[in-house]
Chain A
Amino acid sequence: MNRYFPLVALVFFAAVPLWLQDQYYLHTLVVAGIFMLAAMSLNLLLGYTGQLSLGHVAFFGIGAYVSALTSLGFDVTVFGRQISVEPWPPFLGLLLGMATAGLCGYLIGKLAFRVRGAYFVIVTISFAEVVRLVALNWVDLTNGPLALPGIPPLTLGFEWTGYVTLWGKAENYYVVLVFIALAYLLMKRLVQSPYGRAMIALRENETLAVSVGVSVTKYLVLAAVVSGAVAGLAGGLYAHYIQIIDPMIFMFLNTVTMVIIVITGGKGTLAGPVVGGLIFGLAPVFLRNYVGPEVQWILYGCLMILIVFILPQGIVPEIERWFNRAKPDRRNDAAGQEGSSVLALARSGRANH
């Protein structure tokens, strides 16, 4: 696809709040954006390293709880020792949530990547369940099922500039948009670097990859750390935007949503989670007038199965193929010419020997 396309899309979405004032639509877009971010993080693992994390919501929830708790402040007793934390500025909480989720990614990666594939899936599911049980039962810290209300919205600024609190939907929309753009750029640089190539190599042919010196654990753990941190960021944004979280945040359905977004959009492509996130994030807008939420989920499932049947690689790779097919002559000619000139070079090089 055109390389300016992401920029055009960014400008387009930056302009949306200028003409869209409807609070419900903006809200839907903010939530869609947050799940898009989470799906982007999942894509790094699932799409680029080929490892399926079915507990991805754990990183999301950890980011949400850590960010929420540090910006609310808390008192807990651990092993008879009193720990009290004064409220932090929400942005610091957000960063701490990211860091904690990244650290969890590291631990899970170290633990699970010794044996990969199905084992990794099981470890991640179990991890999410453990974290959910902690959130549910450590009532002193998390309020358990009673939820953690009154989470402050994000604030921008410093002590010496004064703070701006982001109460409105449009402000949050922009914050999420900025983070999506940053995450996209970060993912792009990562996957197109030697780091990303190593991850793709491991996905495509692990034996061959290690034979040229690619370390399995190093790159899979790295992917898990970055993936966990970005999912934690998404969770933190969610907490400060919704302003109340409870252990339901860890429900399996949230992981499934991320997986659906990645697979339908196109795993292992940068734009895949963005496109998938838009489709599944905005679907409720179109469906809500007709069917209830439960039926919506059934429809999403059907939609995903349909898309996967028609476009097994997902939407984005299929669009890319269309683009390339639309101008095959030019592309082949260019490649052919370059190829033959390089061949000529190689031949003359050989003749010199």
Chain B
Amino acid sequence: MNAQVQVSAPILAVEHVAVHFGGLIAISDMSFEVREGELVSLIGPNGAGKTTAFNVITGFQKPTKGRVLFRGNALSGLKPHEVAGLGLVRTFQRTSVFDKISVFENVLIGLHRRTAPSLLGTLLGLPRERKAEEELREQAWEILRLVGIAHEADEPGGSLPYGDQRLLGVALALAAEPQALLLDEPVSGMNASETARFVELLNRLRAKGITILLVEHDMPMVMGISDRIVVLNYGRIIANGSPSMIQNDPDVIAAYLGGGVKHA
């Protein structure tokens, strides 16, 4: 089921990243790579530092130490919109859509990166800008159909059922034309059939060549879909390998079942 993993250069490399919040060490020393076309899951108990890792990678959080490379270029000092501009796009753990704006317009905003209309042409209403706008609308429909929320295009984002809001968040990120997509607990709050459909969507995205880094607590899903899994516990990577390796890793089992197991 998993797309073939090509052995290729890392698209994303996290090198010795540490994040301290005052005295609290959210990430102590984290290094891992994601290769082009891979689907890597980043898992770990609550508070392990997964979201913080996403924030660092996408420029929302400055690391205390270390750096992140995207296609070999350091992202240090780039603002979030610049990181997104390179094709590294994330979604949020807490559902985040433009609530008061229609689903369709939400996606149009997401498509921001795909047009660079001239200001003058826009103000003069030139045909080229109008045509670009038409194309943008067509692309928005495509994304809505891909994600499966086209029937709700006219609804305000905030009025969608919870699961569909999560999908809209993904649609927004997809609109930004990611080369690497970072999904923070995308199926949390979805029921089994919604989750199954989401897995289908992920496979379609992979077929398009999008590299995916996934944070998710849904273990059956993670085990089924990932090429590789990176396990984080208390801000440290405790395991990094294929799903079967991870499932049998004593440290991982200990982390998930609680520290007591180690001593048993």
Task: Assess whether B176 is in contact with A339, with CB atoms less than 8 Å apart.
Answer: no
Given contacts A212-B176, A213-B176, contact A197 B148 (CB under 8 A): no
Task: Assess whether A190 is in contact with B123, with CB atoms less than 8 Å apart.
Answer: yes
Task: Assess whether B98 is in contact with A205, with CB atoms less than 8 Å apart.
Answer: yes
Chain A residues near B154 (CB-CB < 8 A): 335, 339
Instruction: State whether the Cβ of B100 lies closer than 8 Å to any Cβ in chain A.
Output: yes
Main SS class of interface, A? helix
Docked pose: A208 CA to B169 CA in angstroms:
9
Closest CB in chain B relative to A346 CB, distance in Å: 4
Instruction: State whether the Cβ of A21 lies closer than 8 Å to any Cβ in chain B.
Output: no
Given contacts A193-B129, A222-B119, A349-B145, contact A213 B150 (CB under 8 A): no
Instruction: State whether the Cβ of B112 lies closer than 8 Å to any Cβ in chain A.
Output: yes
Docked pose: A209 CA to B110 CA in angstroms:
8
Given contacts A340-B151, A353-B204, contact A212 B145 (CB under 8 A): no
Task: Assess whether A213 is in contact with B145, with CB atoms less than 8 Å apart.
Answer: no
Docked pose: A92 CA to B144 CA in angstroms:
49
Closest CB in chain B relative to A331 CB, distance in Å: 9
Task: Assess whether B136 is in contact with A194, with CB atoms less than 8 Å apart.
Answer: yes
Instruction: State whether the Cβ of B205 lies closer than 8 Å to any Cβ in chain A.
Output: no
Interface string of B37-66 (1 = CB under 8 A from A): 000000000000000000000101000000
Given contacts A186-B123, A197-B109, A198-B112, contact A210 B151 (CB under 8 A): no
Docked pose: A335 CA to B151 CA in angstroms:
9
The listed residue with most A CB atoms (<10 A of its CB), out of B110, B136, B172, is B110
Closest CB in chain B relative to A325 CB, distance in Å: 16
Chain B residues near A222 (CB-CB < 8 A): 119
What total of chain A residues lie within 8 Å of the partner, measured CB to CB? Answer: 33
Given contacts A193-B129, A194-B115, A198-B112, contact A210 B97 (CB under 8 A): no
Instruction: State whether the Cβ of B85 lies closer than 8 Å to any Cβ in chain A.
Output: yes
Nearest to A222 among chain B residues (CB) is: B119
Task: Assess whether B109 is in contact with A346, with CB atoms less than 8 Å apart.
Answer: no
Chain A residues near B85 (CB-CB < 8 A): 213
Instruction: Select which of A189, A201, A339 is within 8 A of B150 by beta carbon.
Output: A339
Q: What 7 pairs between A and B have smallest CB-CB spacing? A: A213-B84, A343-B151, A212-B176, A346-B145, A339-B151, A213-B113, A342-B150
Report which A residues bind B (CB closer than 8 A).
186, 189-190, 193-195, 197-198, 200-201, 204-205, 207-216, 222, 335, 339-340, 342-343, 345-346, 349-350, 353
